[in-house]
Amino acid sequence: MAADLKSEVSASLSESAALLSKVSEDPDPIVRAIGAVEKAFSSGRKMLIAGNGGSAADAQHIAAELVHRFKRDRRKARPAIALTTNTSVLTAVANDWDYSEVFSRQVEALGAKGDVLLVLSTSGESKNLVAAVSQAKSQGIYCIGLLGKGGGRLKGMVDLAIVVPHSSTPRIQEAHQCIYHIICEQIEKRF
Architecture of the structural domain at 26-190: 3-Layer(aba) Sandwich (3.40)
CA 184-185-186 angle, to 5 degrees, is 95
Residue 179 CA from chain centroid, whole number: 9
CA 145-155-25 angle, to 5 degrees, is 75
Contact 124, 151 (CB under 8 A): yes
Per-residue pLDDT of 73-102, as tens digits, reads 888 999 999 999 999 999 999 999 999 999
Annotated domain spans of the chain: 26-190
Give the whole-number percent of the chain exceeding pLDDT 70. Answer: 99
